[in-house]
Amino acid sequence: MSNQDRIKNWRERRTARHADGEAANAIAVASVASDAATGLHGTRSGWTASDNVRNVLSGVLDALASAPRESVAGRRRIYDALESELDAELARDGAPPERAEFRRRQLRTVVRLLEADIRAGVDVLMAGYAPATLDADNARLCDGFDRRAQQRKQQEVREARRRASSEDVAFEVALQPQEAREVALLRERLAGIHARQHCARPGTLQSRLASIAPLLRIQLHILQNESRIALLWSVVGPAVLLSLISSLYFLMGTHYVLGMDVPTFSLLGATTWIMFRQTVFRTSTSYVAARWLINLEPVKPLSVAVVQGCLFIGIYLSVYAILIGVGHGIGLITLPVRWSGAIAYVVLMGAAGVAIGLIFGCIASTWHFFLRFAPVIERGLELFSSVFFVSEQFPEQYRKYVLWSPFAHGMQLLRSSYFDSYSSHDASVTYFVTALVLLAVLGVAMERIARTRVQPM
């Protein structure tokens, strides 16, 4: 016999064995399908239609009872046939992929426990048999399935909330019919309450303006409960910086700066800049941190930031009044020549702080670590904002290094309004007001872009 004949005979034997195996599998599938549809006593078990692990166990035991002396390979064919039947049933019912995977895992768990007991010599076909750890293993399987389903729902809710926020639309939650009727009734009654209180319906400009006063009261309560020492430091801080600036001039033997007495000169620089600094930091922090207030319909991140900035402007106007009153009483501080002009420039410097704080807050809504670098930027601005000096104290060729800053113009215009003996020739009202308007426009534009990234809590 040649090699070609040997190869031909081997291929014929292999094909015959393969055909026999397929026939055996087909017979096993048909047998298992029949036995699974009809239990040991001729009744339908319906194990594929139930999530109960006991029903799954009964279906597998019914299939094994039809061939009690099968080998390991034979039992494997029975298990495969059962899984095929389960897949067909799930496909007919249109079960979700997660539910189908759970049912397959349940069947495999039952098979694994049965095989372990069969190999241990346990009679799995006796009446009342059940694996010892069946309920515990099934409980873990159900817990995992429920946990994954809950995580999937939470992820879907987060994605829907993110899409609604990016599109600047309201995020609506699906409600039961009874709950929907109750919510509609509640909205109608709340609208009536708001209309009686503010003569405006929620969502209008008038209702948003009416929310400013309650926001201000809330911020005052928060500030009061945060720390009494912080309020005290708002007075002590400017006094300390005033003393440092004044001592610098006194050590150099200088008691007047271009006709301005040093204590009052230092008071204007120290108090105004500390107000500017606190306004910047408080406004930027409130824009990204006070997210719980945004759950209220009329409240926007911009209104929270503006109210916080205006609050600190008002606080430092009071600090000004205290320091000027006490300082004038002891003969250290002179009174302003033009009260209205001095107050106006202090308020404008505070408004500039609100604009800068809004810009910082918008950047921090994307780059969360930006506020850690904000103090460095603020200290750099302080050096070029005429806090310690005015531009007329520098030689002509060096003044340009200070006058690029609009805050330097604002500080020098403040001192020009306060003192009769000093009038700044370098400061420009037009430059200062134009820069302030541009900062405000930039802050509002950035807030419009960043609003969707500020999520309510």
Q: What is the mean pLDDT of the chain?
A: 80
Measured distance CA(296)–CA(202) in Å, rounded = 10
Mean pLDDT of the region 20-42: 50
Tell me, yes or no, whether 134 and 243 share the same domain: no
* Of residues 231, 234, 235, the one with CA closest to residue 221: 231
Residue 36 pLDDT greater than 50, yes or no: no
Strand partners, 260: 257
pLDDT of residue 134: 87
Measured distance CA(392)–CA(14) in Å, rounded = 105
32 domain-assigned: yes
357: which 2 tokens?
Answer: 């704080």
* Of residues 14, 61, 9, the one with CA closest to residue 40: 61
| CB contact burial 303-329 (16+ within 10 A = b; e otherwise) | bbbbbbbbbbbebbeebbeebbeebee
24 domain-assigned: yes
Tell me, yes or no, whether 275 and 356 share the same domain: yes
* pTM of the complete model: 0.56
Mean pLDDT of the region 54-68: 84
Give the residue from 130, 150, 170 where a domain finishes.
150
73 domain-assigned: yes
Tell me, yes or no, whether 392 and 287 share the same domain: yes
Tell me, yes or no, whether 217 and 140 share the same domain: no
Give the Å distances, CA to CA, from 159 to 165, 166, 188, 328. Answer: 10, 10, 29, 61
How confident is the model over 62-83, as pLDDT tens digits? 888 887 777 888 888 888 888 8
173 domain-assigned: no
Tell me, yes or no, whether 143 and 265 share the same domain: no
Residue 365 pLDDT greater than 70, yes or no: yes
Residue 125 pLDDT greater than 80, yes or no: yes
Residue 42 pLDDT greater than 50, yes or no: no
Tell me, yes or no, whether 113 and 258 share the same domain: no
Mean pLDDT of the region 405-432: 91
Residue 20 pLDDT greater than 50, yes or no: yes
Tell me, yes or no, whether 251 and 336 share the same domain: yes
pLDDT band, residue 287 (cuts 50/70/90): confident
Give the residue from 104, 131, 150 where a domain finishes.
150
Residue 414 pLDDT greater than 90, yes or no: yes
pLDDT of residue 402: 86
55 domain-assigned: yes
Residue 371 pLDDT greater than 50, yes or no: yes
Residue 424 amino acid letter: S
Measured distance CA(81)–CA(406) in Å, rounded = 82
Tell me, yes or no, whether 226 and 126 share the same domain: no
Between residues 199 and 81, which one has the greater pLDDT? 81
Ranges 1-15, 43-57, 146-160, 228-242, most confident: 146-160
310 domain-assigned: yes
Report the domain count for the chain: 2
pLDDT band, residue 357 (cuts 50/70/90): very high
Mean pLDDT of the region 124-153: 88
Give the residue from 150, 168, 187 where a domain finishes.
150
127 domain-assigned: yes
pLDDT band, residue 43 (cuts 50/70/90): very low
358 domain-assigned: yes
Tell me, yes or no, whether 86 and 234 share the same domain: no
Ranges 242-251, 257-266, 301-310, 413-422, most confident: 413-422
Helix 429-450 vs helix 339-366: angle between axes, to the nearest 10 degrees? 30
Mean pLDDT of the region 233-251: 73
Tell me, yes or no, whether 390 and 286 share the same domain: yes
Give the Å distances, CA to CA, from 56 to 123, 201, 447. Answer: 18, 59, 59
Residue 50 pLDDT greater than 80, yes or no: no
Mean pLDDT of the region 276-296: 79
Task: Provide the residue range defining the domain that includes 102.
Answer: 3-150
- 3 state SS of 66: coil
- 3 state SS of 426: coil
pLDDT of residue 102: 87
pLDDT of residue 39: 45
Between residues 228 and 408, which one has the greater pLDDT? 408
* Of residues 82, 72, 132, the one with CA closest to residue 104: 82
pLDDT of residue 41: 37
